[in-house]
Structure 1
Amino acid sequence: MTVPVPGDLAFVGPAHLKELSDFQYVELIAVENGIATVKVVGPDEDDDEKQLSLPVDNFTHRAVASSERDQWPGSYIAHPVAFAWTSADGVDEWTYGVVSGYTVSELMTTLHVVCQDRSIRLPLTSTTSVIKVDVLNYALQTGVRGNTAAVSPPELLEQQNKVITLCQRRRAGIPKAVKTMMSVPFAGDDIVPLIRPSNLQLVRVRRQHAVDYETAARTKRPSDLYADPGAESGALATQATHNEGLRRRLTNRSGRGRPLTSDSESDNNLSDQDIVMPPDSLESEDEDIREFQ
């Protein structure tokens, strides 16, 4: 086992360092009697020299390459993000997801992003457009599907900041001015993924739950952003809408048989791959920092 030396980095969480509430990079200051003295470092940290201690074995088990200082990929973990992604039609569009992890190789650093309907491996380079997003804009999907040639990263960030300002002026709910800004209609029962910062567990909540957590009065605010009792019914509603849309598209296809006339016929004409089945569980074992990278 490699002996750590001052200046080495590790990526640790609350299970390794009780003073933390989420996962952070720490830099080794010294080792004495099996105890590593460290300080929190990263792109969002100031020069505070507050020192923390953990067993040196914990530090060693969580050690990462010093090259991670170049892009700090771990700083994205558990954060919702907006990023540019090429659609099936070949258009670079703004997309939303939440970062669940990352990998680093000699050639590339890659963020693992979980989106509403898919997972994405996003190369993190000096030209990658990635914006850390607050929960409210993530739930509202501000600017989603907008062409990145029409809306630059600073412009999208400006839209997101405007949404926050407008929502702060209202006691609860989504202001009309915000609704008119939306590039797609808000569907409160749609399910979106989140990553719990303390243990990086993947959970799923309704968009409305996230909006309520950010905008509702304290007495009506959900107690836990990452636990939504209504998520299961929301997931079923989302899947029913998805399946009905597929049925309609199949019905309207020209030159491909006659229109479907009943639910049973519709079901018989859809493949297993088309129908989305309810998940066995809405949780898998697999806040608000805003920054343009």
Structure 2
Amino acid sequence: MTALSRQKIGGVLARQGILIAFVVFMVGFAMANQRFIAVDNVFGVIRSSAILGVMALGVTFVVIGGNLDLSVGSMMSFSTIVVLDLHDKVGPALAIPLMFAMTLALGAFIGFLVGYLKLNSLIVTLGMLSAIHGLTLTWSGGKNMDIADKEGTWFAIFGQSSALGIPMPILIFALLAVVLSVLLSKTPFGRKVYAVGGNGTAATFSGIPRARVVFMTYVLSAFCVATAGLMQASRSMGSQNTVGQGLELEVLAAVILGGASLLGGSGTVFKTVIGVLILGFIQNGLLLVGLEFYVQYVVTWVIIILAVWLDIAAKRGRLWSPIA
């Protein structure tokens, strides 16, 4: 095999390696357990991944813009608890917009700190993770939330109903993915997000309002988190006040798996959806072959390391460092 052939193969593996690995996983799990490819199992995996997927859609914009958001897990807990609490106090028709307004306010605050004050996004969102968790516990009084009259409310339609045989969470996930994909790839705002993440200084000198773009990516991420919180609350009609704890790492893993670079400037909504499905099907496959649930944490870590390696390899055009 010539050096040119090896370089081409390395380039393909760097760009599409995670998809190749996903196909290998799918084939292996299907051979190990035929139930893995059953229609009900496939729909079940996609449905259970929809909440994580909706959150990942918003974080995709943040990461492409060159920043991180580690607050989404705590923010999802906050959204879920707030909408459940307000449901019994003011009714779902008012509870839903009030919850969205409060969640968007949190996202706007983070966007202001990162975009306009130019604080480090990792530090800001890591701090907000704890702050929002404390806010959630304060709101709930340290207690879990449940809807009192589960039978006499239409609130369950967002998480438990279906249309044309397709569960509503899947439809919400798919619709939001289509809308945000168009926003990212076909609009001036989407091009500005890529520009800011690719080279913020150059974007500023080109007349792009860098601070405003970063601000809007966090507001958009908060909107997706609020939607995920609504789906979670509607699905269970009750929730623990830590329901979103730890999800920020899974969301970030899905976004990176989809090809969004931690350095900013690259990624697509479609590939983020693929990343979400990769995580969902791998975790489901591990359970079906008889491995304990905690093995998922190790596998997720390995997948993140693999994805980061492939991301760096894609940028330099080879899998290994030229000095290795």
Question: What TM-score comes out, normalization by structure 1 length?
Answer: 0.26
Structure with the larger RCO, 1 or 2 (CA within 8 Å, 6+ apart): 2
Rg larger for: 1
More strand by share: 1
More helix by share: 2
